[in-house]
Structure 1
Amino acid sequence: MTKTDPETAANRPPSRRAPAGAAVLREDVTDAIRAAVFEELAAVGFARMSIEGIARRAGVGKTAVYRRWKSKLSLVLDLVSAFAEQGLPVPHTGSLYGDIRALLAVASLALRHPIASQVIPDLLVESVRHPEIADAIKAALLDGQQGVAAVVVREAVERGELPPGADPDRALDLIVGPLYWRLVVVKGALPKGYLDDLAKSAVAALKATG
Structure 2
Amino acid sequence: MTIEKRRAPAGAAVLRGDITAAIRRAVMQELAAVGYGRLSIEAVARRAGVSKTAVYRRWRSKLELVLEVVSSVAGQKLPLMDTGSLQGDLTVLLMVMSKALQHPLAAQIIPDLLAEAARNPQIAETLQAALRTHQHHVGELLIGRAIDRGELPASIDPDRAVDLIVGPVYWRLAIARAPLTMADLPELVASIATALGGSMRTSSP
- Tell me which moved more, 100-109 or 136-145: 136-145
Show the counterpart of 2:109. 119
**Equivalent position amino acid for 2:39 in 1:** M
Q: Structure 2: state its 5+ residue gaps.
A: 1-10, 199-205
Q: Based on CA coordinates, which of the two structures has the bigger radius of gyration?
A: 1
**Equivalent position amino acid for 1:179 in 2:** V
Show the counterpart of 2:128. 138
- State the 1:167 CA deviation: 2.3
CA distance in 2, matches of 1:145, 1:116: 18
Give the 5 Å matches for 1:41-56.
41-56=31-46
- Tell me the matched-pair count: 188
Aligned alpha-carbon RMSD (Å):
2.1
The higher-RCO structure (CA 8 Å, 6+ apart) is: 2
Alignment partner of 1:104 is 2:119: no
CA distance in 1, matches of 2:90, 2:107: 22
CA distance in 2, matches of 1:55, 1:199: 43
CA, structure 1 residues 116+143, in 2 after alignment: closer, same or farther (shift >3 Å)? farther
CA, structure 1 residues 161+194, in 2 after alignment: closer, same or farther (shift >3 Å)? same
Kept in 1, the 8 Å contact 2:147–2:153? The answer is yes
* TM, length-normalised to structure 1: 0.79
Alignment equivalent of 2:64, drawn from 65, 74, 80? 74
**Equivalent position amino acid for 2:48 in 1:** A
- State the 1:192 CA deviation: 4.4
Show the counterpart of 1:6. none
- Flag as ranges the 4+ runs of structure 1 deviating above 6 A: none
Alignment partner of 1:83 is 2:76: no
* TM, length-normalised to structure 2: 0.81
Alignment partner of 1:34 is 2:24: yes
Q: Structure 1: state its 5+ residue gaps.
A: 1-20
Kept in 2, the 8 Å contact 1:153–1:171? The answer is yes
CA, structure 1 residues 83+113, in 2 after alignment: closer, same or farther (shift >3 Å)? farther
Alignment equivalent of 1:199, drawn from 178, 189, 192? 189
- State the 1:29 CA deviation: 2.0
**Equivalent position amino acid for 2:49 in 1:** G
CA, structure 1 residues 123+160, in 2 after alignment: closer, same or farther (shift >3 Å)? same
- Tell me which moved more, 99-108 or 77-86: 77-86
Kept in 2, the 8 Å contact 1:96–1:156? The answer is yes
Alignment equivalent of 2:170, drawn from 165, 180, 194? 180
1:112-134 alpha-carbon deviations (Å, 9 max, x no partner): 34553222321122223322211
